[in-house]
Amino acid sequence: MNSKTNHIKVDYLIIGAGLAGLTLKHFLKNENTVILDPSAGAYKVGESFIPETFHHPEMQGLLRGIKRLPSYSNKVGSTFVSESSVASFPLPIEGQEYSLHVSRSELETYMQRYWKVLVRKERVQRIDFDTMTVYSDTGTYSVAKQIIDCSGPSMVIARALNETIAT
């Protein structure tokens, strides 16, 4: 880690620029919030969204642009397949306008542009919870309010606290 890195003071620091991190940054409405993600738009599990994801009016504002993305398609239900059975669940017609399949990387890139969210391409190296300081590979952040882990399976904070569960 470079000892001459900038020391930046922020209110909130969000780890992970996926759907959760980008949406949280937007809804916080706090200009002194930073999102760190070393590989925003990288492969993520799940590219199908339930209607509830887009019910909020601010989320609905995304839909027109999302429907123009190359990977977009309508979603009218879900099918689950196991070794011994198949189950299909159609969506009610009134929820279908909010249901969709779309590439997560396309969706997240669009959300960044639409909401004008800056994502810093940095990897968290260490977190000092006593001083609320986050050290990345290129910077140091003093966090006044909260460090929020939206890194999904990476579980950055759980790993820092040594609280991950081996499976």
pLDDT score, position 28: 96
Look at phi and psi of residue 16 and say left if phi exceeds 0, alpha if psi is from -120 to 50, else beta: left
pLDDT digits (tens, 9 = 90+) for 51-95: 678 888 889 999 999 999 998 988 877 788 889 988 887 777 777
| H-assigned helices in the chain | 19-28, 57-60, 63-66, 104-115, 156-160
pLDDT digits (tens, 9 = 90+) for 124-150: 999 999 999 999 999 999 999 999 999
Q: How far is Cα 20 from Cα 11, in angstroms, rounded to an integer?
A: 18
pLDDT score, position 51: 65
pLDDT beyond 90 at 152? no
Contacts for 39 with CB less than 8 Å, ≥ 6 apart: 121
Edge-first strand listing for the sheet containing 133-136: 119-120, 33-36, 7-15, 140-149, 133-136, 124-128
Structure token digits, residue 108: 């997240």
What's the pLDDT band for 26 if we cut at 50, 70, 90?
Answer: very high
What predicted TM-score, i.e. pTM, was given to this entire model? Answer: 0.82
Q: How far is Cα 6 from Cα 3, in angstroms, rounded to an integer?
A: 9
pLDDT score, position 2: 47
pLDDT digits (tens, 9 = 90+) for 111-125: 999 999 999 999 999
The helix/strand/coil state of 83 is coil
Averaged pLDDT, 17-35? 95
